[in-house]
Amino acid sequence: MPRSSECPAIAHLIESDGPGGAERLVAALAVALQESGSRNVVFLPADGEGWLARELCGSGVVVEPYRLDRPVSPACARSIAAAFRRHAVQVAHSHEFTMAVYGAWASRSAGVPHVITMHGSRYYAGRLRRRVALRAAMSGRSRVVAVSHQLAGHISRDLRIGASRIEMIPNGVRFVGPAAPAALRAELSLGPGDRLLAAVGNLYPVKGHSVLVEALAALSARYPRLHLAIAGRGELAGALAGQARALGLRERLHLLGLRSDIPAILAAADVFVLPSLSEGLPLALLEAMFAARPIVATAVGEVGSALDGGRAGVLVPPGDAAALAAAVDGVLSDGARAHTLAAAARARAVAEYDLRIMVRRYRSVYDDLLTVNRSRLITHHAHKGHFNEGTSP
């Protein structure tokens, strides 16, 4: 993994193990690094739901549970530091707020270089205590990574950290090849004349699915055979179903729940829609780009950059159902434009967002940290040896 012949252990720390974007990225990164020859240990909450642990099963990646049962837990930090020593961890990589704090705490105790990646919204910024804790975690020798330029700017301003200290590494996904669209369309009883919009994301308010349902309602008269399928789970499932009933769309909204066949869902879609109100760089968007789907998305986070300023997908303001409907209409009604957008999205994904590119960028960060840490240890031992030599009897 580094430029030398060593095979270091990389610790990946995350505060939850459900099927979210950050968790999926941790799994992909750890498995890819494992395949490239490094040793990887993923630290997961002991009382989690187990999704991420199941994803890692059989990969060779070690799963290390930790227990965090109170907001401030020195015992948790000590246990993580002890696990770093036990696994001979040489670089720790923490994801999101909670593990940024505890990963920094444990890394300093164990003398391990530390990387922090922040993925999505600014939920840390709402409380002074969180801002102080995260600023402390990012101080000193921790390397800070954001997945979008917008988030990097927020971190710099919110925490008063120099912009030059924050690196931007876009997310990447592993392209699994084209999938057949027939399975989902048959599952939903769609005929040849039916059109399908697809969205992928957990059913939380920030994902903007209610705005998408409003847009579907605005399009329903012009496209009486237009359907919407949303893959994801979450607290708004009942509310979205109720919204669809109230708008006369009950038969046209399909809440698919948590799915493992995302490529097949994307392949079945006429248009992929990302209606989020806030994002970093969502993996679902990248997967849709690799699948060569025409895309309509809100201009949030790194989405506009990923879609090349609108040349690889149509961008609309977040929260605007009318603009979303108009953009979808423009793609559905112009097959040539849809084809051009899809081809541009695919080309951009291959060039910028392949998993291998992301892994290579993180490997470079790890290598730099290992080199600096090795030099620091050599200097420390040299000074210690000189001191002992000069003071020995």
The whole-number pLDDT of residue 55 equals 94
The set of long-range contacts for 314-321, using a CB threshold of 8 Å and a minimum separation of 24, is 314/341, 318/208, 318/211, 318/275, 318/276, 318/277, 318/278, 319/208, 319/211, 319/277, 320/211, 321/211, 321/212, 321/214, 321/215, 321/218
Q: What is the pLDDT of residues 293-323, one digit of tens each?
A: 999 999 999 999 999 999 999 999 999 999 9
333 and 276 in a common domain: yes
Choice among 113-117, 281-285, 300-304, 373-377 with the minimum mean pLDDT? 373-377
Rounded to the nearest 10 degrees, how much is the dihedral formed by the CA atoms of 373, 375, 378, 384? -80
The whole-number pLDDT of residue 132 equals 93
Does 55 map to a domain?
yes
Choice among 42-56, 112-126, 225-239, 336-350 with the minimum mean pLDDT? 112-126
Rounded average pLDDT over 217-239 = 96
Q: What is the pLDDT of residues 129-164, one digit of tens each?
A: 999 999 999 987 789 999 999 999 999 999 999 999
| Total number of domains constituting the chain | 2
Does 3 map to a domain?
no
Q: Residue 218 belongs to a domain with what CATH number? A: 3.40.50.2000
Mean model confidence pLDDT for the chain: 91
Task: Give the domain range for residue 242.
Answer: 182-352
Task: Please tell me the distance from the alpha carbon of residue 23 to that of residue 195, in angstroms, as a whole number.
Answer: 32
282 and 189 in a common domain: yes
pLDDT beyond 90 at 391: no
376 and 296 in a common domain: no
Contact 171, 306 (CB under 8 A): no
> Helix or strand or coil: residue 173?
strand
Contact 355, 172 (CB under 8 A): yes
195 and 89 in a common domain: no
The whole-number pLDDT of residue 3 equals 41
212 and 316 in a common domain: yes
Does 135 map to a domain?
yes
Contact 284, 201 (CB under 8 A): yes
Model confidence at 176, in pLDDT bands (50, 70, 90)?
confident
The whole-number pLDDT of residue 183 equals 86
Does 1 map to a domain?
no
> What's the DSSP call for residue 253?
E
The whole-number pLDDT of residue 181 equals 77
Task: Please tell me the distance from the alpha carbon of residue 50 to that of residue 124, in angstroms, as a whole number.
Answer: 25
The whole-number pLDDT of residue 384 equals 58
The whole-number pLDDT of residue 141 equals 79
